[in-house]
A = this chain, B = another copy of it.
Amino acid sequence: MKAKGQAVDIKIDAEEMAAYLDEVFPQVRGMFGIDRLDKDLLVMRLHADDRHLRPGGTVSGPAMFSLADVAAYVATMAFVGKQALAVTTHCSIDFMRKPEAGKDLLAEAKVLKLGRALSVTDVLLFSEGSDKPVAHASLTYSIPPARG
């Protein structure tokens, strides 16, 4: 998840991040998992769950958006530290293939820019076991100034 060309390291590891997500987003507790979180890569998982299904049995667009959004949040927070009030200001997402029915959805997230006030994160979504991306997103987070 290391931003290409940036030397920064992460401040929060996977275990601490999972606990933090449960604390700030209790309404989605159990929905997402963190498979990997280091400075080179974030991999998040959306557990297959009937609540998110569309006609045809695949993961819905809103559930894919949610996964991309939380992955960009986690990827950014890992570098800047806990900022519960960081907010998404933009998302562009291309839905390219139908996710496979009954499979978890995985997000691979990379921070492309980490500025003082904004981050830009690239996210690719895959059905578990496939290397063809089902969706591709770019998300911008506005990062509030840290309180001393």
Contact = CB atoms under 8 A, between A and B. Distances in A.
A138 interface: yes
B4 A27 contact: no
Contact of A138 (B6, B118, B131, B136): B136
Among A25, A95, A124, the one with the most B-chain Cβ atoms within 10 Å of its Cβ is A95
25 contacts: A4-B131, A4-B132, A5-B131, A5-B132, A6-B132, A25-B54, A27-B50, A61-B65, A61-B69, A62-B69, A65-B66, A87-B95, A89-B94, A89-B118, A90-B92, A90-B140, A91-B91, A91-B93, A91-B95, A92-B92, A92-B138, A94-B138, A112-B124, A112-B133, A117-B117
